[in-house]
Amino acid sequence: MLLRYRGSEGMVAWAFHRISGIAIWLFVLLHVLDIYLAGGNPNVYDDILKFYASTPGRIMEVLLGGALFYHALNGLRVMAMDFWPRLTAYHKQIWYANWVIFVVVGLPGAFIIIRPVLGL
């Protein structure tokens, strides 16, 4: 139902925006806790950091980066349409342009994060 309600790209863009926003919020909670420990208990922080640098940690960082980048690009798309309503006629095209930017910029980024796992 999440994807069929209004159907088509606009609804999917909205659902992804909401899901990625909640995911980023959860990471922000974790990240403020861990950085607080860097000041309060550096040894515990360094242990958490070892997880961030591990293989599952890096996979989660790629997902976080993806959520962040999607939310950022789609957020600009929403704002553009809010302030220049005539752009809503092209909301699908802007969404597909976002995906092109997402893949072209995101793939090299994902490669840099995952590179140590591949031993490159």
Partner 1 sequence: MALYSRSGRPKPQSGGFELAAWYFMRLSGVALFVLALIHFSLQHFLFDPSQETATWIFNQRWNSLFWRGFDWLLLMMVVLHAFLGMRTVTMDYLKGGTRTFALTALYLVGTVVFVMGTIVVMSVPLTLGK
Residues forming contacts to partner 1 in the complex (CB under 8 A) are 10-11, 13-14, 17-18, 21-22, 24-25, 28-29, 32-33, 35-36, 38-40, 42, 45-46, 49, 52-53, 57-58, 61, 65, 68-69, 72, 74-79, 81-83, 85, 88, 91, 109, 112-113, 116
Least distance from partner 1 to the Cβ atom of residue 73, Å: 9
DSSP 89: G
CA angle 41, 43, 45 (to 5 degrees): 75
95 close to 81: Cβ distance less than 8 angstroms: no
Identify which of residues 15 and 100 has a Cβ nearer to partner 1 in the complex.
Answer: 15
Identify which of residues 29 and 100 has a Cβ nearer to partner 1 in the complex.
Answer: 29
CA distance 38 to 62: 23
CA distance 45 to 68: 23
